[in-house]
A and B are shown apart, each in its own frame.
Chain A
Amino acid sequence: MDWLFFSEIGLAGIGTGGLYAVSGLAFVLIYKATRVVNMAIGEMMMMGAYIFIGFSVGLALPVWASIPLAVIVSGIMGGVIERAIIRPMLGENAISVFMVTIGLGSVLVGLVEIIWGADPRRLIEFVPSDPIFIGEAYLSPKVGYSFAVAAVIVGLFLVIFRTWRGGVALRATAGDQAAAYSMGINVPKVFSLVWIIAAMIAAVAGILVGSIGGVSPNMGVYGLSVLVVVIIGGLDSLLGALIAGIFVGLIETYAGAFLGGEYKMLATFSLLVFVLIVRPYGLFGTHEIERL
């Protein structure tokens, strides 16, 4: 056994898992607070990456300005989506809301094709390109730095959910909407806030993923991998998204390295089936989850 190779693969897997975790966070936040299964999460990531292109290439703004602007604009977009599309659907059948998010994904793809065209693109290089070595083990700089950003974001949310007033309001809303109302929590405002925050996180995830693999209107398929991660972790568990993200990342990379790229998806979806059989609510999910 080549242990150096084995450890390098492990590092790559953890890095990939970090990206899954931060993307999963955006999904879990929305589900946790609103019980909406947002199938457009991949497209929201894609939109965030394209908005970044709009600022960094279209308006030629520096990266330090383009990233926060893209995140802010994405947050506004998330708020508009919630207010204009999701809120009118509250109280409707879960399948209807689910279908609306699928439609939303198609609308976002169409918008991107109209504004930026259908060609694949690369983001401007903003991540340091010097290779990272942990001991003798190589780690791709983009994956390494992306993992660091993802870890900070996930860690931050784990903390503020327990300490920040808004985070407590969100947890209360997730726990029991009627009780949250009766305690004076503005539940619709919490819904909006969650969509805004989730869209901002999705934009960060989109920029990180786009900086590695480039962007195209087809980038939304990445959301399918994220869906696997959050189902394994538990649809309403932030910690689950983090742990499942890293777990899936490791499984994928080890399967790819030792079995071949054709086994990556097979390994991931086999894991999904296994987890669903053993723990249908995910590794860390709440038992009462109503599935579709």
Chain B
Amino acid sequence: MKALLIRELRLALRSGGGAGLGLAFFLIVVILVPFGVGPDPKILAQIAPGTLWIGALLACLLSLDRLFQTDSEDGTLDILALSPLPLEMLVAVKAFAHWLTTGLPLVIAAPVLAITLSLPTETYIWLIASLALGTPALSFIGAAGAAITVGVRRGGLLLSLLVLPLYIPTLIFGAKAAALASGGGDPMPALMLVAGLSLFTVALTPFAAAAALRSHLG
């Protein structure tokens, strides 16, 4: 299990892995927004939480189809399925590795980018908290979507279409928590709902994903 986690991390961090891609995409989205809506700090501060959340979601989506696709193409997935590790655990480890290499860098990069969007300083902690609690849900829901579309024709496009409706609750609660904090409201309820959603998906989506993988492996 540990070996698998280390392998996943190593693959993602090497050149050609997905880790840098998501972060770069996140940077591009957030930097482009001020050019699109104009440099007014008041407007930027208002849309900053939503922008950062949408950027994180899209960056996550971008690297999802690598989760099982490359392993399925070179046969690694069949070998992993034969190992004593249960498929559910395999999915959980891979999704966790995906979060470590995609979600976590975004959480760390977000405050830096929030400066460029002139987000009030006292809300940084809430923004980081909402992203840190919410991005695991993105990775784990995405793992279920990736498991369903692995080896399917035009899988990447299909994956985005399938995962999009599933991401909406996380996006709503996550962005709402950060927006409430910057708007002077109480972000706690939204934050707790995000955390609940993450725990819920971490606990349950590996089973759905493993069922889908089993069907693929025949």
A and B held together in a complex: no
Give the B-binding residues of A (Cβ under 8 A). Answer: none
